[in-house]
Amino acid sequence: MNDIVIIGAGTAGLSAAIYARRAGKTVLVLEQLSYGGQIINTPEIENYPGIRNISGFDFATGLYEQATALGAEVLIEKVVSIEDGDIKKVVTEEGSHECRAVILATGAKNRPLGLAREEELTGAGVSYCATCDGAFFRGKDVAVNGGGNTALEDALFLSNYCSHVYLIHRRDAFRGDDKEVQRLKDKENVEFVLDSVITALNGEDALDSVSVKNVKTGEEKDLAVKGLFVAIGQMPDNAAFAGLVELDDHGYIKAGEDCLTGTKGIFTAGDCRTKTVRQLTTASADGAVAALAACSYIG
């Protein structure tokens, strides 16, 4: 029996574990992949208060080591369901764990383009993680699809290894930071392909090119690339909890800044909940708020 089971070992989940352990509660963190969440693949973090510069891996490792040093237990198990009651039973593929409160901190995963053959070509030219797979395309032409900070960071990272980087975005301006946009403009091997969407992925056993259509002119062309890095946003992974907490139309857990789900003893934190801003700072803050709310609930 644990006081609190936290589902997800990203920034929100590990922050929650730190606060819950400091409050004297027993804590079990369940994660289906590895600790850190998506931030572990970010090469450089420059916007976390108090830390001038750090890699995503080092940041996530620091959180993990802090949480475990305080006594939080972390297990790699995929949660498949939760049985509600005064005592909750969190069911995983390996077994089950009982607790008094649950914090859902499942984060979000990369959103696919939804094109034909996308799944087939994933790992054969199509990727969702530039820092994971970029080295495989050293000296080759690649494309990045997206307009936010992730896409900008991916393009900048790839420009250091690849011959040419096309940055494809459906609008004429980027949503990401102007500072990152200017960095890319200063790169001779980066080319912006704006007002454009990818319509097809081409190649037999591996990606050879992407078909692109200009949404304003209707012009279509093929870009010869060996790699495509998709960075068009995220989507939550909350299907297993649909009958336990209320989800919005996009699958995010409905909860405000208090991190309360509306279900007794169930709390949420981080990118998996409805919120306007999804950053490291807000994930960490959510973890603290959810943990203290869970501690107060337990008493």
Asked if residues 7 and 240 have their Cβ atoms less than 8 Å apart, the reply is: no
Residue 164 to residue 4: CA distance in whole angstroms: 49
Q: Which one of the listed residues 3, 99, 133, 259 is annotated catalytic?
A: 133
Residue 272 catalytic?
no
Q: Which of 254, 128, 136, 143 is nearest to 197 (CA)?
A: 143
Look at the block and give the residue holding tokens 């237990």.
73
Residue 129 catalytic?
yes
Question: Residue 273 corresponds to which tokens in the numbers above?
Answer: 């909940």
Q: Which one of the listed residues 132, 186, 222, 248 is annotated catalytic?
A: 132
CA distances to 17, 80, 84, 203, 239 from 90, in Å: 17, 8, 9, 44, 15
Q: Give the Cα-Cα-Cα angle 142, 143, 149 (nearest 5 degrees).
A: 125
**Which residues are bridge partners to 89 per DSSP?**
83, 98
Asked if residues 215 and 195 have their Cβ atoms less than 8 Å apart, the reply is: yes
Residue 132 catalytic?
yes
**Residues sharing a CB contact under 8 Å with residue 111, sequence separation 6 or more, in sequence order:** 230, 232, 233, 234, 235
**Residues sharing a CB contact under 8 Å with residue 85, sequence separation 6 or more, in sequence order:** none
Q: Which residues are catalytic?
A: 129, 132-133
